[in-house]
């Protein structure tokens, strides 16, 4: 996971978003499912990102979870959305697992308007 995070940090500034996400979409899928409970994968991801960034790491979390869950054969889709907060725009990234937000404290669909999804529906 650490190696993927380093790659993401380097590539996110060099590649357009669709190209970046294609790189993180695994080409091979393991039919056996996750080697760890999904809740533990989320906790490990948040711990790594929290130690590295403290907060504001939703895009990195979404891309890492997207990569691993797709690799393990789960039907996930990555979303980017925006919302107006006062006079500014706020952004958020999350994944849906089987059509529902995954690893979110509250449903982002109630606050954010989706602007881009990968893979497209």
SS3 80: strand
What span, in angstroms and rounded, lies between the C-alpha atoms of 103 and 3? Answer: 21
SS3 66: helix
Taking only the tens place, the pLDDT of each residue in 16-61 is 999 999 999 998 777 677 788 899 999 999 999 888 887 789 999 9
Domain ranges of the chain: 2-118
pTM to 2 decimal places: 0.87
What span, in angstroms and rounded, lies between the C-alpha atoms of 89 and 84? Answer: 5
Enter the DSSP assignment of 30. Answer: -
Percent of the chain with pLDDT over 70: 99
């Amino acid at each position: 996971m650490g190696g993927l995070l380093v790659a993401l940090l380097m590539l996110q500034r060099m590649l357009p978003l669709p190209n970046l996400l294609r790189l993180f979409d695994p080409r091979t899928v393991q039919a056996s499912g996750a080697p760890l409970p999904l809740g533990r994968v989320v906790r490990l991801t948040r711990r790594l990102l929290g130690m590295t960034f403290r907060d504001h790491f939703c895009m990195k979390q979404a891309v890492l979870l997207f990569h691993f869950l797709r690799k393990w054969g789960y039907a996930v889709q990555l979303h980017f959305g925006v919302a107006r907060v006062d006079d500014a725009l706020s952004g958020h990234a999350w994944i849906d697992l089987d059509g529902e937000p995954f690893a979110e404290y509250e449903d982002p669909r109630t606050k954010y308007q989706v602007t881009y999804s990968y893979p497209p529906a």
